[in-house]
Amino acid sequence: MVATDPVDVRLLSLVAEMGRAAVHDIAARLGMDPREVASRLVALSASGLPLLVGVECDPNRLRAALAARPQPGAYAPPAGYPQPYPTPAPGGFAPGVPSGAYSVPSGPYPPPPPSNPVPAQTGPPSNPFPQPMSTWGPPQTASWARGDQPPQDLTVPTARSGPANGARTGTVGATLLTEGLEGERLAIQLVEVVDPADYLFTAAGYRLQDGERSVVVHTELTNRGGVPFQSLPDLYLVLVTPDGRTIAKAPVSLSSRPPHRIGVAPGETAGGHTVYVVPESTVISSVRWSPRPDDQSRTLNWTIES
């Protein structure tokens, strides 16, 4: 079996280059969600490729986490319905029932409560429930709506809308405040923009085509709240041209400029470098960060002064 999907090809090429790596490390290098990387690797492994997907853990800590999990409550049937009879254990006897005492009652079951027809509602409900959020589609992407319907804003409304402060724009070096999709309080600083960064790109063993140049952007994300930020900090960090065109990051990382890692715990600051490959004549006017491409309320912009 030979992979034909371009994403699978890039994924397998990186795995072949690394030989052995953790799923989250592969996802960070490719700028992908680790859950998508894991599902693709499992599917490719099942297709017959010489690929083994494994898992590793700390046994003691894992056992402790399992022991501390909350116990599920017992199920109580609603009033008016018969209590379930004990299920026979292997050997034909129910647990806790002495031998010879187990029998199926011959009497009729109690009748269920009458099913009265629901009266037709003539007006709006007094306490309408909000529509449930759709979770169809890969997590942390913009494709949460069905393909035959326009995307819907699934952000849960809160008393405070927009970022934690009024300013969402700045210049290189500025720290801007915003919120994540789960209510995380974030402070993001655009530390540096290296343009061109061809010497860094080629020093890492990569080769640029004729008419191309590389750009490296250094950002730092601080989690100022109590909710963990569980995404890749530069997942949707893009370059913007004067005509509004956006340029996504390249699926490469530089040894001299470490990439971002997934997740930032409350109170911590994580930095990383994002690499872009652009046409040599392209002008970069700004850098844009957003938790997802279709969310404008939390978007941050840094203007690059020429």
Q: What is the pLDDT of residue 154?
A: 35
Percentage of residues in the chain having pLDDT higher than 70: 66
Structure tokens at 17: 């280059």
Q: What is the pLDDT of residue 3?
A: 65
Domain count, the chain: 2
- Of residues 274, 271, 261, the one with CA closest to residue 232: 261
Structure tokens at 145: 């709506």
Residue-wise pLDDT for 62-85, tens only, equals: 777 788 876 655 445 555 544 544
The Cα–Cα gap between 27 and 39 comes to 12
Decide if 220 is inside a domain.
Answer: yes
Q: What is the pLDDT of residue 50?
A: 81
Decide if 95 is inside a domain.
Answer: no
Q: What is the mean pLDDT of residues 245-269?
A: 92
- Of residues 235, 218, 215, 191, the one with CA closest to residue 272: 218
pLDDT(240) > 70: yes
Residue 83: CB atoms within 10 Å: 8
Q: What is the pLDDT of residue 52?
A: 80
- CATH number of the domain that residue 19 is part of: 1.10.10
Percentage of residues in the chain having pLDDT higher than 90: 38
Residue-wise pLDDT for 176-223, tens only, equals: 999 999 999 999 999 999 999 999 998 888 999 999 999 999 999 999
Q: What is the pLDDT of residue 229?
A: 95
The Cα–Cα gap between 228 and 252 comes to 26
Model pTM?
0.49
Q: What is the pLDDT of residue 126?
A: 46
What is the Cα Rg of the chain in Å?
Answer: 27
- CATH number of the domain that residue 199 is part of: 2.60.40.1240
pLDDT(87) > 70: no
Phi, psi of 178 (to 5 degrees): -160, -170
Length of the chain counted residue by residue? 306
* Average pLDDT of the chain, as a whole number: 75
Beta bridge partners of 275: 216
The Cα–Cα gap between 239 and 197 comes to 14
Q: What is the pLDDT of residue 30?
A: 85
Q: Which residue has the higher pLDDT, 97 or 69?
A: 69
- Fill in the DSSP letter of residue 24: H
Yes or no: say if 198 and 208 are a contact pair by the CB < 8 Å rule. yes
Structural domain harbouring 29 = 6-46
